Structure 1
């Protein structure tokens, strides 16, 4: 019926825009404004109807007494009520203060396109999702209690939902959402919000759900169809495909078992089942005998499931009254999984009677999974408030399927949760099993994750396992990075500390000498060296006396390796007699006596460059090498070792053959006076050189320490020690 418009199209459009800006104050604004939205559609004639007039009058009446919104209190849970109709879905966020409920925010959404064809349970889930997106700050800051009689929680937790429901479930898992049965609205201002009638919480009458099942078996395969109808138009559909051969009767039983399990997962207590199989109905009700042993096992399984319901009834219906379940069964038995995204799809690998009932063992309940399992299965929480809140938030990312705990992941939809012993087995198998290649800790954790497993300490456990793996240690690459920070050795004054080492064997020279005993002063960098034929304790003792004590005085410390010639009792007694402290380093790590090793390199490089074919002349060339070193400025002190020892620079041979300025203009009297003055100023020169050396060592230490990778070893730790000097037998052997 058409009527004359009291307002123009532009005025309606302006009014609709203003109402849209006030949607947070208007309950079910989408339903109220729907006549205006339809009136303003393109390519339609503007016609003011009685429906528009009625909606306009109700809107004016409501705007005269709008609800007063309140500011939510921090830390207080907020309650969310959902309402859906054929063309819109709405929600209201309220805060409960005592026995009164006050609105915080209203949301509303008009359904478009395919959303209009959603099932009732999908529309309720969409209302929750749109509320979470619109009210994200509230969902992030508060615990949200969703009060609804629809089985939203149970349906969203099923992993084999339609594609869009899986996406919604993952998106909602980040919030702290609690689902409760809905009671009565306690605020008069919200009475207009609820579409369907409700009663007080706790006084709800038991509601019977209707289950329709059907099985199908043909040459292409076999499957089952299940439809579960609840109150207020709730409809859940499931299609099962069997990977095993099943007769028509077995398929009918599989459909009934799957439907009853689905009802239990949703939380149904009273169930009325319908099947078009007269045989299955008669055997369950007891009117038919069961002679087939396979069907007897199915009958026993159905009897176990019946005991879990408060009331159960199975009746036979004609096939034409069971068309929807029959269509789902044919869909599962003839088409590939995933062809229909509007129903729950599942694949059974083996018959239900062959599947052992998996129960949570004690190890899982006592592990990190215990609190989550108890909360999801029995709604039990720890006694402490903070711990209970933590479990609630954590449990949103987990789901129980076939009595096993799974975690919703990012790398894969579901990750199976493992107890400690199960985790150890998985790590060992992936690391060194049939497909294992002894990969590193980080790669091992990623591979276990891709395989579909999860536990909270995956990365740490994988790294620890790799560190303890014997084969990984024996066949690993050698570490060249220093394990500890550089420890510089500084001598407080000249000739206080000497480093002594042995260089050789060299080609045998005159006097059958083939070794070189080298000593270097840590302060002046002065080197003393003596060729010897054999390395004995007596030769070392004579070297100490002749080259060090008689020329430079008694040293305080002698640094050597722990070779027998240095650590013998004769040498030890000699040093003890003169009050000299012996400091030993490791033979395997000569770098701990770095000063002596550096002197060895200088001598060796100088001899290599001066010698050609006559390698046996190294003894004759040794004094020239040492003289060159003593008269060359050292990089750390910026002074020559000769000047550090004697107080003046030495005159090199070239200045005699080709006189320099200081030779040409030298005067003996002035030269003697200047040499004496240099000796008086020697302490200042040495102190300045000492400061430069310390600065140089600190720069070297910073550069060295930047490459350090610390490897802390405690007493009692097992380490792999490689034998020095042992050659590798081949490429397949450890280094």
Structure 2
């Protein structure tokens, strides 16, 4: 076939070598059929699909078959050569060249209308849309060129068995993390604005998060990622991203035929008894306290009624005044209002460090995975703490390890 080199692909008939070629006798056709057949052969010759040979080995006659619409369909009688070849379990489909040409033109039209990926300009702001379904997550990275949104990259991922159990919100966050991992070069070179109607920023930077969400918050903190509400949607490219969080009842259509009695909420009655060996009434002696029957308690259970708090807060004698700006100022402003420094380098440092801290009121704490939160102090207060350790009531303590433990507690 024209345009295809033989070193790339070549069609060859696997004929038994012991058989001799068969030359069929010429079959005469009616004049109208003969004219139509000659015109069709000329078309195939001009398309370089057929060519003339002088010394034939196998010769087969063409056969005209009338189609339902009244036109003719040209076939070739390959009965003799089929008998001479081994049986093929993977046969090629029959192709009508006119229909194939029409399908080829339709395919070229579809390919020509596909969105073309665009190369972003240096330091250009990129926009991201996220989508999550039951078994997959996807995202699209685009740039605004005038009034048109041009795609830069598409990312999608099938969820594993454990990831399918994520909530819809966590799947969106996972889509953002997966895209940041795949397109790291874009996230490091461009600021990214995530358009979504979910409070991803508020959840990632709240102090109560832990586990996987905290890990993702730290991982995303190194990039310049801003979040904005998705008020309007532009471009046909976003058609597949409109259903961002489908309703759970739609995803669970297989349960719609179950009677309402079975889907009703269950009520669990328990006395609070629980132990490592199981649960049930009387499993723990402390569960008997609710009945206020103290005579039934075993001798191993002791009860003490406290009349006042066991920990008495000492009054604060004096507070140390800090300067207007310390090392904590930028982190506190970012956690409280989402304000970032104007300098891009300082902004990146703040975003990287912020997930490792928590803000409680006006006090900044550093998170700890294996211990309590550590209270952050400024330079003046740190100097006062060190002076108290060396010269105050703790002056008799010696040793570097003990001193570090005192300062960290």
The normalised TM-score by structure 1 is 0.29
The normalised TM-score by structure 2 is 0.49
The structure where helix makes up a greater share of residues is: 1
In terms of Rg, which structure is larger? 1
Q: Per chain length, whose mean CA-contact separation is higher, i.e. which structure has more relative contact order (CA < 8 Å, sep 6+)? A: 2
